[in-house]
Amino acid sequence: MNGVTLDLEERAKVTSGFKSGCSGHCTSYGANCENGGRCLEKYHGYSCDCSDTAYDGTFCNKDVGAFFEEGMWLRYNFQTSGVSAKESGTRSDISPDQNSSPPDLDREGIHFSFSTTKAPCILLYVSSFTTDFLAVLIKPAGSLQIQYNLGGTREPYNIDVDHRNMANGQPHSVNITRHERTIILKLDHYPSVTYHLPTSSDTLFNSPKSLFLGKVIETGKIDQEIHKYNTPGFTGCLSRVQFNQIAPLKAALRRTNASAHVHIQGELVESNCGASPLTLSPMSSATDPWHLDHLDSASADFPYNPGQGQAIRNGVNRNSAIIGGVIAVVIFTILCTLVFLIRYMFRHKGTYHTNEAKGAESAESADAAIMNNDPNFTETIDESKKEWLI
């Protein structure tokens, strides 16, 4: 405090009314802050700080995503000194520390989810003030490709993931981490795969400049191969995008300290369409129902094609089966309830016998009917009216 380190624990030992050694709420409940969220102690509880994550919500477990229409793009500038007033719009003022140049990177972590049916396209691109760049692409055949160019090589280093069509409209999760020349890629439910840059490649990503989503609109020189993927651009959903500690989509959709770095072309609509990556266990191509190379159909949406609005071959509409089962259970429950109510209402129904006096229908009153039917009743009355002299 004010440059002075205070040993509160030692102070508590010599101060009456204090006891040292207690644990805070984050010790017991800090694990509830997910996806890298930071637990903050409060007087009567705790809270989760999600500012350094691509997530939102109380426990940093709510995806922040957006739907991109054709031709739309988002740019995140790692430094804002070169951003014009027109591009910054009505964003908050830029702090002095944001004007400093970003350092060279010997490591980076990239995490995002996407879904699309269009190929080819650019998912993510990181440019620099040099010739270094990083690109995550969808090739014309629908497969995923990662390109690294860190200098020292004539051509970019490409990582091709050809075993699956990624432009099938399903959500896919991509996690890329690099430390110097070692790259680790984890895609959906598949095991992590390690790749190595050539020994001639540099280990630093020099002077990172901007991060692009959906399309690359860069003033400097762009690799011609990358330029081919710019038309018509990405169409689909991007979710929980994070580059190291930067969450560009969240900065665009939520007002944060990094919002001044963001420039958007088009209308960005928040969506959770990429919130559920595939979690099924890996299958071979012979048993994988999504692998359609052995079928005549060129569609990648199996067993249902939302674009054509019809089922493909013998595909089963799982939603219809679930709805039919729920309706059957509801009807069965209603029938059982009706049977129970009917049995309950008629359980006392039957015949009964009344011991009424004969001639009750023609008598003037109930007492008259009893006197006419029972002669002893009259004698009893006469006996009660006799007087005795003692």
Q: Domain check: are 203 and 239 in the same one?
A: yes
How far is residue 294's CA from residue 278's CA, in Å, rounded to a whole number? 22
Q: Domain check: are 18 and 130 in the same one?
A: no
Q: Domain check: are 214 and 239 in the same one?
A: yes
Q: Domain check: are 49 and 151 in the same one?
A: no
For 18, other C-beta atoms within 10 Å of its C-beta total 12
Give burial (CB, 10 Å; 0-12/13-18/19+) of 87: middle
Give the residue from 254, 270, 286 where a domain finishes. Answer: 270
Q: Domain check: are 168 and 224 in the same one?
A: yes
The domain spanning residue 136 has which CATH number? 2.60.120.200
Q: Domain check: are 41 and 187 in the same one?
A: no
User: In b/e form, how buried is each residue of 115-128, taking b as 16+ CB within 10 angstroms?
Assistant: bbbebbbbbbbbbb
Give the residue from 255, 270, 285 where a domain finishes. Answer: 270
pLDDT value for 94: 37
242 falls within a domain: yes
Q: Give residue-wise pLDDT tens across range 182-219.
A: 999 999 888 999 999 999 999 999 999 999 999 898 87
pLDDT value for 86: 35
| Token pair in block for residue 47 | 């809270």
The one-character DSSP state at 50 is: -
pLDDT value for 173: 92
Q: Name the residue range of residue 199's domain.
A: 64-79+102-270
Q: Domain check: are 257 and 124 in the same one?
A: yes
Q: Domain check: are 107 and 30 in the same one?
A: no
Give the residue from 223, 246, 270 where a domain finishes. Answer: 270
Q: Domain check: are 25 and 106 in the same one?
A: no
Residues whose CB falls within 8 Å of the CB of residue 75, separated by 6 or more in sequence, listed in order: 210, 211, 212, 213, 217, 262, 263, 264
pLDDT value for 327: 93
Residues whose CB falls within 8 Å of the CB of residue 218, separated by 6 or more in sequence, listed in order: 127, 210, 212
The one-character DSSP state at 152 is: S
Q: Domain check: are 129 and 263 in the same one?
A: yes
280 falls within a domain: no
Q: Judge if the upstream peptide bond of residue 140 is cis by omega within 30 degrees of 0.
A: no
Q: Domain check: are 162 and 266 in the same one?
A: yes
pLDDT truncated to tens, each residue of the chain (390 aa)? Answer: 899 998 888 888 888 888 777 788 898 888 999 999 999 998 888 999 998 899 999 999 998 999 999 889 999 998 754 443 334 443 334 343 444 556 788 999 999 999 999 889 999 999 998 889 999 999 999 999 999 999 888 889 999 987 788 999 899 999 999 999 999 999 988 899 999 999 999 999 999 999 999 989 887 677 778 888 888 889 999 999 999 989 999 999 988 777 788 999 888 888 876 555 444 444 555 555 544 444 444 333 334 344 433 333 344 456 677 888 899 999 999 999 998 888 888 776 555 555 555 555 666 666 666 666 666 655 555 555 566 676
133 falls within a domain: yes
Q: Domain check: are 12 and 159 in the same one?
A: no
Please tell me the total count of domains within the chain.
2
